[in-house]
Structure 1
Amino acid sequence: MDFNSMGKVSVITPSYNSANFILEAIESVQSQTYTNWEMVIVDDCSNDHSVELIEAKQSEDKRIKLIKLTRNRGPAYARNQAILAAGGKYLAFLDSDDCWLPQKLEKQISFMHKNDFSFSYTAYRIMLEAGKLTEIVFHVPRQITYKDLLKNTAIGTLTVVLNQEKLGRVQMPLYRDCSEDYGLWMSILSQGVTAYGLNEELSLYRKCNESLSSNKWKSARKTWNTYRKVGHSNLPSTMWYFLNYSVRAMRKHTRTS
């Protein structure tokens, strides 16, 4: 397979005090069978030794790029800075505490290339904070439209790949009280784009005790605000979509608790 002709993948990784996990994330990218990638890591003013670990990896592998922010701006801003610095045809998202399986990029880019898709996502497995794999795998539907997305929690950020040659340069919304990744998917799909699912387990989502998704009330509030501020939904529509979203989210969190 000619990876060069298929296009470079820019891996977008925000990092904040990620010393416990960042090496695993980087090494999971380095282990990819698809080798035409760059990893753009934006450190959001960490006060642990994350930067030293990243710089050590960077000195060994020039495909790793590090941008250091001078003050803490939050994950959406960090991701946006990485996107602005990205030189690849594709954008792939990987947070500093998550990991990919070795064939993730090869299978997903082939899936997109073969079918001329601009937005794809995959199934993923939950792992515990210490790295132990669970039996929980989130399978995904074949496709998601904008209306589907408003009622659905199926798209895991660590699984998303976007073709920015087709979509144009994207940016996450910078509302601190919104779900920035969900807001980006909402903005893209609202333009008539359809996201396509590859129902193969290709990523590992780390369920940390202090992660945003573990704080269900905060996550729910951010989702509500995303409907209102990014989707510009009126109150009745927001209530309907939020009810559907909440039922699916409750089922999802029940599986992972």
Structure 2
Amino acid sequence: MNGNGTVAASVICPTYNRSQEITKTIDSVRAQTLQEWELLVVSDGCDDDTEDWVRRSARQDSRVRLHRIERSGHPSGPRNAGLALARGEFIAYLDHDDVWRPDHLRVLLGMLRAGADLAVTGCTYHDADGGEAAEFSPLSAFWHPQLQLLGPMFEPSRAGHRRGVVEEVGGWRGGAGLEDWDLWLRVADAGSTFRTVVQPTAALLMDSGTRRNRMPRPHRLPLVVLDDARTAHELLCELRSGRYDELLRAAVLADTRDWYRRMDESGALVRPLDWSGSLDVEIERVVSGEVKLFDELVLVPVRGRYAIARNLLCSRVEHARRAARLVPSVQPRVLELVRDLAESGPGGRVTGSDEALLLGS
């Protein structure tokens, strides 16, 4: 706390059966260079010894507080409970299997105190053994309403916000997953100001067993619809053969450059405050890596015909519908490539991105 007894940051950490490992997460908060915080560890009905380890930390540091709720089975419940208890001017989140570097809160609150409603830092990704699991690209720290709509952004352990921002849009919601994406999208729709940095101040666990990797993908956007199942299957195999990867990469690169240029010209593209690189160069670097669009396409029946469709990683149908309407303007060359390949064979019919054909709605 500061001199007048006010807590600068309330840190909300939902947990379930983390046992002694929770102390690593707690200790990363206690090691912060900014010390005006409270840590609310919210037990989602733990039935192991996690709460004992939290109490042990609380005896060592009175800023650590344990709160228990009935088992909800979803992190949104503990996060909302933490928000109701929070006394801080700003709110930060820390998942129980992530840790912060010592300057995380200082960097985060620096952006919030400068006027941001929601602030996000960079991060590193590690696996269960501590090895690097993925590279963090500066593009992951860019923000625009369209970027927020089309891709899951900003894991909770990277994010913080001004008090009241989340409550004003209805709080955290449950569901199959991606509750953070759902929340930040509602915050964006409310007109909140976002600020970011590339600086990696959080270390996040990336594991195949996490909820994001297990969640169903019920919503799909049909790209082409064909009359015959065999023809559709042959086209899908052709797309996945690797023969069109370079054409795809060129289409993705051109579409992405045009998209970012339009977002930048709109004045709404948020660049990381600490990054001064070339956007075109970074886009080319990312796109020159593995492009997985063809691998991620799926074949599904639709109204007695067969669609080659793109998965939309959206948890709610209204989100999927908005994404479906935006995709054609963001990836026109990619969609044209897929449709041209379909039309070159027998039985193909281009459907466009008709919202009525959105699978899973």
Q: Normalization by structure 1: what TM-score?
A: 0.80
Task: Give the equivalent residue in structure 1 for 2:135.
Answer: 136
Distance 1:206 1:9 in 2: 23
Task: Give the equivalent residue in structure 2 for 1:163.
Answer: 162
Question: Residue type matched to 1:237 in 2?
Answer: R
Distance 2:160 2:50 in 1: 25
Task: Give the equivalent residue in structure 1 for 2:325.
Answer: 237
Contact 1:139/1:200 (8 A) holds in 2: no
Alignment of 1:175-214 (within 5 A): 176-214=175-213
Which shifted more, 15-24 or 25-34?
A: 15-24
Task: Give the equivalent residue in structure 2 for 1:80.
Answer: 80
Alignment of 1:11-90 (within 5 A): 11-90=11-90
Which shifted more, 64-73 or 195-204?
A: 64-73
Task: Give the equivalent residue in structure 1 for 2:315.
Answer: 226
- How many residue pairs were aligned? 238
Q: Structure 1 regions of 5+ residues with no counterpart?
A: 245-257
Residue 78 of structure 1 and its aligned partner are, at CA, apart by 1.0
Residue 136 of structure 1 and its aligned partner are, at CA, apart by 2.6
Contact 1:144/1:194 (8 A) holds in 2: no
Distance 2:3 2:218 in 1: 43
Residue 76 of structure 1 and its aligned partner are, at CA, apart by 0.8
Question: Residue type matched to 1:228 in 2?
Answer: V
* Counterpart secondary structure, 2:150: coil
Contact 1:118/1:167 (8 A) holds in 2: no
Question: Residue type matched to 1:60 in 2?
Answer: Q
Distance 1:238 1:226 in 2: 17
Residue 210 of structure 1 and its aligned partner are, at CA, apart by 1.8
Distance 1:159 1:235 in 2: 24
Identity level (%): 18
* Counterpart secondary structure, 1:199: strand
Q: Bigger radius of gyration, 1 or 2?
A: 2
Distance 1:192 1:203 in 2: 26
Q: Normalization by structure 2: what TM-score?
A: 0.58
Greater relative contact order structure (CA < 8 Å, 6+ sep) = 1
Task: Give the equivalent residue in structure 1 for 2:172.
Answer: 172
Q: 1:238 to 1:50 in 2, by over 3 A?
A: farther
Deviations 1:198-227 (A, max 9, x none): 110110001234211333xx2644975534
Contact 1:178/1:226 (8 A) holds in 2: yes
Task: Give the equivalent residue in structure 1 for 2:145.
Answer: 146
Distance 2:143 2:3 in 1: 29
Contact 1:125/1:204 (8 A) holds in 2: yes
Residue 65 of structure 1 and its aligned partner are, at CA, apart by 1.1
Task: Give the equivalent residue in structure 2 for 1:104.
Answer: 104
* Counterpart secondary structure, 2:130: coil
Contact 1:120/1:196 (8 A) holds in 2: yes
